[in-house]
Structure 1
């Protein structure tokens, strides 16, 4: 979320201890804990409310926004096997008479 590694977190905690002071630190730690607990409870109640309203009727995989990623669309299109019509076209193009260049009659 904040892209903070362990070393940076340790520096922030040490700065907080120096700025806030060791006598007020337990009070702020309790407030932080209460904030996290309230956030978790709100998330759980929202999740339960959504599940109660929507139920199990929704196919969540169809609503996944990652399926609209252009890179994924191109990758899936390139990995699809060619259709029988495409294979017939490829055969027609490659079967040219000797001495002539192959060409597609539909493209000219």
Structure 2
């Protein structure tokens, strides 16, 4: 959490002993321990209260997915670009066109082997 290695912790302890003094250091250590215990107890009480107020349907929610540290814009854009657009279903299928007596249109007989034809986006020259 604080990313402190052993050498840094040793320097902090030596500075605390020198600045606070060996007489008052045990009292400050006890106060720090009680503060940590109280904070932990408050966190557990808060979690229990949230669980009781939200109800049992929120016990299965994966809260790690909502963690903002998981947000990676590159991954989101990559996934959005890699999603395949679903092709709209043709109005009349090949079987329905043959049953109606008409010839099948090329659009109705297209397969996934054929490349898609790029359709230009609609343009409104009166738009501002």
Q: Distance in 1 between matches of 2:40 and 2:118?
A: 65
Deviation at 1:65, TM superposition (A): 4.2
Flag the structure with larger Rg. 2
* Unmatched segments (≥5 aa) in structure 1: 94-103
Deviations 1:35-85 (A, max 9, x none): 0000000001001111111122125337714476422312323454x3563
Cα distance, 1:17–1:52 mapped onto 2, change above 3 Å: same
- Runs of 4+ more than 6 Å apart: none
CA RMSD of aligned residues (A): 3.1
CA distance in structure 2 between the aligned counterparts of 1:36 and 1:106, rounded to whole angstroms: 64
- TM normalised by structure 1 equals 0.67
Q: How many residues align?
A: 96
Q: Which residue of structure 1 aligns with residue 61 of structure 2?
A: 60
Match of 2:120 in 1: 107
Distance in 1, Cα, partners of 2:79 & 2:62: 16
User: How far off its partner does 1:16 sit?
Assistant: 0.3
The structure-2 alpha-carbon separation of the partners of 1:105 and 1:69, relative to structure 1 and needing over 3 Å to count, comes to: closer
